Chain A
Amino acid sequence: MVLENIISIFILRYLQKRLPDAEAYLKWHKILKVGMLLAVTFIILGYSPIGSRVLIHGLSLALVGLIIYGVFKVPEFNQAKTIAYAVLPYLGLSLVSEVIDIISPSFYESIETLLDTAGFFAFLWAVALWYLSRKQKKALELERQKSEEREKEYRLTEKIKAQLEKEVAQRTQDLVKKKEALEKALNELKATQDQLILSEKMASLGELTAGIAHEIQNPLNFVNNFSEVSNELIQELREELKKDHTQRDKENEADLMEDIAQNLEKITYHGKRAEAIVKSMLQHSRKDNGKREPTDINKLADEYLRLSYHGLRAKDKSFNADFKLELDENLPILEVVPQDLGRVLLNLINNAFYAASEKKKLLEDEGEGKDFKPTVVVTTSLEQKGVKITVRDNGNGIPEEVKTKVFQPFFTTKPAGAGTGLGLSMSYDIITKGHGGDLSVISKPGEYSEFIIHLRQD
């Protein structure tokens, strides 16, 4: 009888704990409290002599029955179903025993042991069910926790993923920006390079101009002089022809005729000489047509050696140097870009003259140099598979540590403004990239420098 009420209190307490505190549930809280009060009252009454034991037992059963009914009927109390299932067999047994006891106490006594055993199993059932449900609940709880953790992890991963994606997007944008900036810089660099190549070309053209002017002036003088003197000779011949037959000097006439004929040849020769110089100047200043054409290397070397010499001579009156051409007459005609190779020769020869005359100046500053003759020697020679051109000066040479740098762009030993520092690097490009040849230098510091061009014949 006590147990029924304890079950009641237990279920009520269970429901009370799980019922929300909200206003809407106030009524239910009140009902639960009344139920508990009743159960406690029944327990006390059960121990007191007051009232019939059967009545109180009946009321107690009615109360617990009502509570279980509520558990199944009211949705808010459904969660106590497991407890209800656990205690139902015991309550049913208790009700049956009481009914049998009332109807036939003798029959009750005869099956009391059986009832006790059944009561024990009902109790076991309750405990087992309670234990199982607890275990299940715990497992569920664990599962829930796990899934919560998984959810948490997933959310974290998502967050990191989003962050990463953002960072990647940012980085990509940065890279694109950098790439664009680099492309721009590259384009600017290319434009600057083109500009520099052009200005180097113009500078060398400027150096050429004076030489060219001198080179053209000389043949033009001859053209003028020879035509003028030819006029004089013709005049003289006319006078001779006017003379009486017997007085004419046949020998003189023949001489005059011969001279006039020779003069006309000279006029043609020097006219062509001037024409060739103008042509080569135009070729030098022409924008890269880059076309290879059959070229007489000896003629080119001669031409540019003279242009260089006269150019420097015209620019600096104190400049004086000796130059020699040692040409191999057996040279084959090579397919080269004449204006490019000409630029290389001009650059190398100008440098050679510069180096040799710098040495002269240095020696003169030291009070010596009387016996030193700045000299530049240009040679051509036939090789097994092509042509070798050398430009040698007797200047102060190139120090070992500088030798590896001379073909680098912007490297110059000349004072600021005297050179772009591009001449040799451009020469190197023209020979190697432009002609598949080779440009190298040998030098003995204090004694000489020699630049060597190898051109292949193919």
Chain B
Amino acid sequence: MKILIVDDEKDVEMLFRQKFRREIRNGSLELVFAFSGADALNILEETDPPKVVYVFSDINMPGMTGLELLEKIKTKFPQINVSMISAYGDSDNYNKALTSGAKGFFTKPIDFESLKKEIQSLMG
């Protein structure tokens, strides 16, 4: 299963790769990373249909915000699940995310246990 993580903080990649070390090693999970909204869209458009089934995106990024990215993904690829990860867990962001079609909303610092559960529920 291929998952895309979008965050302007590049160290997120290292963190996720270590957190999902086992899953990656046993081949049940493939992680790809993008450091901006535009990067993320490019990755999704690489193949048609995209191989990515789930996108986790930061909201606060220079350029395209996570919420803008969410809207774009939901119009172009409605089948892809999108969840938001933000340091600003206020109700404004939360409501906007859910009404735009986000599957979940995670706050930073990330609780990887609940994130793993979310991914596992999808892997079935």
Binding site for B on A (CB under 8 A): 214, 217-218, 220-222, 224-226, 229, 232-233, 236, 259, 262-263, 266, 270, 309-310, 313-314, 317, 320-323
Residue of B at shortest CB range from A305?
Answer: B62
Q: With an 8 A cutoff between CB atoms, is B87 at the interface?
A: yes
Q: With an 8 A cutoff between CB atoms, is B19 at the interface?
A: yes
Q: Is the CB of B11 within 8 A of A317?
A: no
**Tally of contact residues, B, Cβ under 8 A:** 20
Residue of A at shortest CB range from B67?
Answer: A320
Q: Is the CB of B62 within 8 A of A322?
A: yes
Q: Is the CB of A217 within 8 A of B87?
A: yes
Query: Of B14, B68, B92, which one neighbours A266 at CB under 8 angstroms?
Result: B14
Knowing A259-B18, A320-B65 are in contact, say whether A225-B109 is a contact too (CB < 8 A): yes
Q: With an 8 A cutoff between CB atoms, is B60 at the interface?
A: yes
Residue of A at shortest CB range from B60?
Answer: A313
Query: Of A221, A263, A270, A310, which one neighbours B18 at CB under 8 angstroms?
Result: A263
Decide if the interface of chain A is mainly helix, strand, loop or mixed.
helix
Bound-state CA distance A232–B62 (Å) is: 32
Bound-state CA distance A361–B93 (Å) is: 19
Decide if the interface of chain B is mainly helix, strand, loop or mixed.
loop
Q: Is the CB of A314 within 8 A of B88?
A: yes
Residue of B at shortest CB range from A222?
Answer: B11
Knowing A218-B87, A314-B88, A317-B88 are in contact, say whether A225-B15 is a contact too (CB < 8 A): yes
Q: Is the CB of B19 within 8 A of A229?
A: yes
Q: Is the CB of A262 within 8 A of B14?
A: yes
Q: With an 8 A cutoff between CB atoms, is B23 at the interface?
A: no
CB distance from B35 to the nearest CB of A (A): 14
Q: Is the CB of A214 within 8 A of B87?
A: yes
Residue of B at shortest CB range from A266?
Answer: B11
Q: Is the CB of B108 within 8 A of A310?
A: no
Bound-state CA distance A221–B86 (Å) is: 12
CB distance from B59 to the nearest CB of A (A): 9
Chain A residues within 8 Å of B68, by CB:
320
Q: Is the CB of A214 within 8 A of B60?
A: yes
Q: With an 8 A cutoff between CB atoms, is B63 at the interface?
A: yes
Additional 8 contacts, C-beta under 8 A, given A214-B88, A226-B15, A263-B18: A221-B87, A221-B109, A221-B110, A222-B15, A225-B15, A259-B18, A314-B88, A317-B92
Knowing A263-B18, A270-B11 are in contact, say whether A225-B110 is a contact too (CB < 8 A): yes
Can you show 17 pairs from A to B with CB atoms below 8 A apart?
Answer: A214-B60, A214-B87, A218-B9, A218-B87, A218-B108, A220-B109, A221-B87, A221-B108, A222-B11, A224-B109, A229-B18, A233-B18, A313-B60, A314-B88, A317-B90, A320-B65, A322-B63
